[in-house]
Amino acid sequence: MKKYVLAILVLVSVTSSAQLPADKIIGIWQCEDYKIEVFKSGNTYSAKLLWSKDMFEADGRTPKRDSKNPDAKLKTRSVQGITHITQLAFEDGEYVNGKLYSIQDGNTYSLKGKLKSAEELETRGYKGVPMLGKTFKWKRVK
């Protein structure tokens, strides 16, 4: 009986230490095409866009405008620094139910993600079914 209880305790200990706390997602992350800053927003997480490969006009300094936004009032705002990820909730070790606003096409996509380690984040943006989406692999910026 003691061996059985010890085995369960070891298993629970290993399983709980493998899961990273929800707030570990907070910080600056970069992938090939984007750099974002994730922050806590109430009980969920959001992210603002710090950089993207096509964020600037031809001069390389002037941020592009949000011209594809379906809201006419927002078409003239700068895309640099916009909060484009919202409502990302932490459930059962994963981030779910997020919304991703794309500056490329003005559409809003569903978003989910998972911390692979304290330094690696994987997200998937999709419309309808996750299988039809796009995966982004992020590295934490120090």
Q: Which residue has the higher pLDDT, 8 or 50?
A: 50
pLDDT for 16 equals: 41
Output 6 or 100, whichever has higher pLDDT.
100
- What are 77-81's contacts with CB under 8 Å, separation 24+? 79/49, 79/52, 79/55, 79/103, 80/49, 80/50, 80/51, 80/55, 81/48, 81/49, 81/50
pTM over 0.85: no
Q: Which residues contact 102 (CB under 8 A, 6 or more apart)?
A: 84, 108, 109, 125
Parse the chain into domains and list their residue ranges.
Answer: 2-140
pLDDT tier at 44, thresholds 50, 70, 90: very high
Q: How is residue 18 annotated by DSSP?
A: H
Class of domain 2-140: mainly beta
Residues 17-41 have pLDDT tens digits of 456 799 999 999 999 999 999 999 9
Which stretches of the chain are DSSP H helices? 2-18
